[in-house]
């Protein structure tokens, strides 16, 4: 293990801008609290922490990041709190350390649940500060380098698989190419040692021939650059072991059959921007207020020079590509322009595959030094000068993507499903799309216009009605392709439908659609519940209380607001009966009395109607049953039994929608001893003839039936009439309906509800 002096010297060499006194304090604290801890390799635990700090410093991160890298395990493994870290090192270091710390003292049901909880918290911290993932990747990289010291082969494989599924894709997404390749190779080594060793041995055996080929290719490439007055460097290397393995399995070829195992890299232009050089030259210098304006103007001037040089270097990239294609024939369809269309992780470069020396397919990558820094360091390259207020859209674009990962929790029903969705989201390829204004939008493959709409803005997604792709109207389930220009057509009254969930692919879109559907359902239930409660209270002449009484009622019912109560009633989660009893205590006594009456009637199986229009029984005006009809009784509050037709709409409504009142229904049978008449209404439709009314009245009188009231209307050739009759029962009513139906010119005769009182 390195000494303290050696470690601090390496840190200074990697990044002269770092505050060594803070890093030294972090070293001393870690050394003290981890003093008795050892790694499985037999080394002091401190050695791991220093390796992590060194990797973070080499990536170019700031002082707080290096300090957090050294202290990342201190809360979990030593007797110190996050609050104490905050007091000693400040808010940023403590936040980073907390984001990297596993929760202690919490019992999880399974390993998957524990991992899912850790990733959720890691993503939450990443959404606020992306440095946390760089430190975590540095931690995982050193752990993978020493994984062989774990006693359990099963644990080695589990950690290796987790690294392959989660951490290597994260490194790729954040542009940390070297870390990604090393994590993949180390994971592959533990997951499939036989294939790893086989490919490695093949590469070792071919090393002399490979080195000769690399030298033979570099020489003419340097010559091309010199002839065209382009300064830069050329290097060549074999592709990484896991990359070769994937190519073998994807193409179904042996390693001998693969002909593009070599990758050459040409880096042109200046290796330091004017702005970065200025910051490095003034590292550690404090500026007074009088210097700030002058410094700001200087930086703006240097930025203009950087932009001008960048355009010149990009022109050289394309010129050099053309000259190389003249010397080495390009393979058709094997060219990618990541300069004009950067990858989602910010990577820029020109990729071409040519026929090189000895007729071998050879990949050549051409980029500027600035592009190379991003290709190697990814997000770390963007972060390095962020504390100096150098704006970078790359950082701004990453945060929404991290937050989108957090919405995966809404799509999962278990920790295992969340982990599966996270793995899928990290490994899904992303494509570049454009708005009509030329703005770049990065989306996952197989994305749809609905996903694109929500990526632009939530309101655009919610009001989406259609889409145009490259000027042509498409359906909302259309699969977008790389480079498409997408225009979303909105409509103010448009709303998401449940079918959108089957179309959308992104977690963000699905989460927003579900939220909107829940809100729509809430509003529907709210209106339904408000209407039901209002009608019920009005029927019972009860007023809804206000102020404290209403607050007490809502608290008793465990509802946060009156809207929540209405929604609960509308959705069926809350019965109205307890509310009525609370607002009018006498109702409960009435309910008890009704239940006693109902129970008595239920014991009789069927209640005999032996009298009506008294305190116990009365004919319902809504459907006007008469003796002989199939009737049912409804036990009212204080008005005895109301007799209805079994087919009455009000009875059907009670059965379907007022379950709490269904126990007040009793079966009835007619058993009247005295002879009397009942009101029942019929309606008649027929031809508009002069004698029609006279014929109807004559037919009714002939059956000895009295007409209490009648209304008739003539419209053109049609006659409409309603007659309120006094009949002794169902038999007499059926007879008059049949007789009227036989009259000449009558089309329809039937029963109808009672005349409304005027």
DSSP-assigned letter for residue 271:
S
Nearby residues of 597 by Cβ (< 8 Å), 6 or more positions away: 635
pLDDT at 394 over 60: no
* Active-site residue flag, 77: yes
Strand-pairing partners, residue 666, are 633
pLDDT at 713 over 80: yes
Task: Return the structure tokens found at 118.
Answer: 């850790």
Catalytic residue among 6, 9, 76, 731: 76
Beta strands, E only, 275-390: 330-337, 350-355, 361-368
DSSP-assigned letter for residue 38:
B
Q: What is the mean pLDDT of residues 4-25?
A: 90
Q: What is the mean pLDDT of residues 444-468?
A: 93
Q: What is the mean pLDDT of residues 137-144?
A: 95
236 neighbors 262 (Cβ within 8 angstroms): yes
The more confident residue out of 105 and 306 is 306
The pLDDT value given to residue 26:
95
The pLDDT value given to residue 440:
79
pLDDT at 397 over 60: no
Q: Would you give the distance in Å from CA 59 to the centre of its chain? A: 32
- Rounded distance, CA 378 to CA 60, Å? 11
Nearby residues of 62 by Cβ (< 8 Å), 6 or more positions away: 17, 18, 131, 383, 384, 387
pLDDT at 461 over 70: yes
* Active-site residue flag, 459: no
Q: What is the 3-state secondary structure (H, E, C) of 385-424?
A: CHHHCCCCHHHHHHHHHHHHHHCHHHHCCCHHHHHHHHHH
Name the most confidently modeled range: 333-347, 450-464, 668-682. 450-464
Q: What is the mean pLDDT of residues 386-399?
A: 48
- Rounded distance, CA 470 to CA 73, Å? 52
pLDDT at 178 over 50: yes
pLDDT at 391 over 80: no
* Fold of the domain spanning 678-752: Alpha-Beta Plaits (3.30.70)
pLDDT at 129 over 60: yes
DSSP-assigned letter for residue 44:
B
pLDDT at 614 over 60: no
| Domain edges within the chain | 4-198, 516-583, 587-670, 678-752
Residue 542: pLDDT band with limits 50, 70, 90: confident
Q: What is the mean pLDDT of the chain?
A: 84
Residue 8: pLDDT band with limits 50, 70, 90: very high
- Rounded distance, CA 364 to CA 266, Å? 7
Q: Where are the alpha helices (DSSP H) in 463-584?
A: 500-503, 507-539, 547-556, 562-570, 577-583
570 neighbors 522 (Cβ within 8 angstroms): no
DSSP-assigned letter for residue 652:
H
The pLDDT value given to residue 103:
58
Task: Return the structure tokens found at 50.
Answer: 């220093």
- Rounded distance, CA 169 to CA 242, Å? 13
pLDDT at 595 over 70: no
Second-level CATH architecture of 4-198: Orthogonal Bundle (1.10)
User: Which of these, 407, 379, 357, lies nearest to 124 by C-alpha position?
Assistant: 407
Residue 615: pLDDT band with limits 50, 70, 90: very low
- Rounded distance, CA 284 to CA 294, Å? 18
Nearby residues of 658 by Cβ (< 8 Å), 6 or more positions away: none
Instruction: Of 124-128, 436-440, 502-506, give the lowest mean pLDDT range.
Output: 124-128
**Cα–Cα separations (whole angstroms), residue 725 to 113, 613, 685, 733:** 75, 18, 17, 9
Nearby residues of 287 by Cβ (< 8 Å), 6 or more positions away: 295
Catalytic residue among 43, 77, 310, 661: 77
């Amino acid at each position: 293990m390195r000494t303290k002096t050696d470690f601090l010297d390496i840190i200074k060499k990697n990044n002269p801008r770092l505050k060594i006194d803070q890093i030294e304090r972090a070293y001393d604290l870690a050394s003290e609290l981890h003093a008795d801890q050892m790694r499985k390799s037999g080394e002091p635990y401190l050695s791991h922490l220093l390796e992590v700090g060194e990797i973070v410093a080499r990536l170019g991160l700031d002082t707080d990041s290096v300090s957090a890298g050294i202290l990342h395990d201190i809360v979990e493994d030593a007797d110190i709190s996050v609050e104490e870290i905050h007091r000693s090192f400040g808010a940023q270091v403590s936040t980073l350390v907390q984001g990297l710390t596993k929760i202690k003292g919490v019992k999880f049901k399974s390993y998957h649940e524990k991992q899912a909880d850790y990733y959720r918290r890691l993503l939450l911290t990443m959404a606020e500060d992306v440095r946390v993932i760089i430190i975590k990747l540095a931690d995982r990289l050193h752990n993978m380098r020493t994984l062989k010291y774990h006693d359990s082969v099963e644990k080695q494989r589990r950690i290796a698989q987790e690294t392959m599924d989660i951490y290597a894709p994260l490194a790729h997404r954040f542009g940390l190419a070297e870390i990604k390749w090393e994590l993949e190779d180390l994971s592959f080594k533990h997951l499939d040692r036989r294939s790893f060793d086989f490919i490695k041995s093949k590469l070792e055996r071919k090393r002399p021939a490979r080195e000769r080929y690399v030298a033979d290719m570099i020489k003419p490439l340097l010559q091309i650059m010199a002839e065209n007055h382009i300064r830069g460097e050329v290097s060549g290397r074999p592709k990484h072991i896991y990359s070769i393995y994937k190519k073998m399995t994807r193409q179904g070829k042996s390693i001998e059959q693969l002909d593009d195992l070599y990758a050459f890299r040409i880096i042109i232009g200046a290796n330091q921007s004017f702005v970065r050089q200025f910051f490095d030259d003034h590292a550690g210098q404090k500026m007074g207020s009088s210097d700030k304006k002058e410094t700001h103007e200087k930086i703006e001037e240097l930025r203009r020079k950087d932009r001008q040089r960048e355009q010149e270097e990009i022109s050289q990239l394309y010129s050099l590509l053309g000259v190389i294609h003249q010397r080495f024939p390009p393979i058709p369809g094997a060219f990618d322009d990541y300069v004009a269309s950067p990858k989602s992780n910010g990577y820029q470069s020109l990729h071409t595959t040519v026929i090189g020396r000895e007729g071998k397919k050879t990949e050549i990558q051409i980029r500027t030094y600035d592009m190379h820094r991003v290709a190697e360091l990814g997000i770390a390259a963007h972060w390095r000068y962020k504390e100096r207020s150098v704006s970078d859209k790359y950082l701004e674009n990453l945060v929404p993507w991290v937050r989108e990962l957090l919405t995966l929790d809404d799509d999962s029903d278990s920790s295992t499903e969340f982990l599966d969705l996270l793995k899928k989201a990290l490994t899904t390829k992303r494509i570049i799309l454009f708005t009509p204004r030329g703005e770049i939008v990065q989306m996952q493959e197989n994305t749809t216009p609905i996903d694109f709409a929500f990526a632009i803005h939530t309101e655009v997604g919610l009001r989406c009605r259609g889409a145009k792709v490259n000027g042509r109207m498409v359906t909302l389930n259309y699969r977008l392709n790389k480079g498409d220009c997408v225009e979303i057509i909105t409509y103010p009254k448009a709303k998401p439908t449940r079918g959108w969930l089957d179309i959308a692919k992104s977690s963000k879109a699905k989460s927003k659609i579900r939220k909107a559907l829940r809100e729509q359902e809430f509003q529907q239930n709210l209106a339904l519940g408000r209407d039901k409660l209002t009608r019920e209270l009005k029927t019972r002449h009860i007023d809804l209380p206000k102020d404290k009484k209403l607050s007490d009622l809502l608290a008793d019912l465990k509802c946060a607001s009156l809207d929540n109560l209405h929604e609960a009633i509308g959705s069926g989660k809350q019965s109205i009966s307890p509310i009525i009893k609370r607002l009018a205590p006498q109702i409960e006594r009435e309910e008890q009395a009704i239940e006693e009456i109902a129970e008595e009637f239920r014991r009789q199986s069927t209640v005999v109607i032996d009298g009506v229009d008294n305190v116990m029984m009365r004919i319902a005006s809504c459907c006007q049953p008469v003796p002989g009809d199939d009737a049912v009784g409804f036990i009212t509050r204080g008005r005895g039994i109301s007799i209805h037709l079994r087919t009455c709409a009000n009875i059907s409504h009670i059965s379907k929608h007022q379950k709490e009142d269904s126990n007040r229904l009793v079966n009835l049978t007619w058993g009247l001893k005295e002879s009397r008449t009942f009101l029942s209404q019929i309606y008649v439709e027929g031809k508009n003839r002069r004698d029609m009314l006279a014929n109807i009245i004559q037919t009714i009188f002939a059956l000895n039936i009295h007409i209490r009231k009648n209304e008739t209307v003539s419209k053109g050739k049609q006659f409409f009439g309603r007659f309120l009759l006094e009949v002794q029962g169902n038999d007499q009513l059926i007879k008059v309906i049949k007789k009227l139906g036989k009259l000449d010119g009558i089309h329809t005769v039937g029963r109808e509800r009672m005349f409304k009182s005027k």
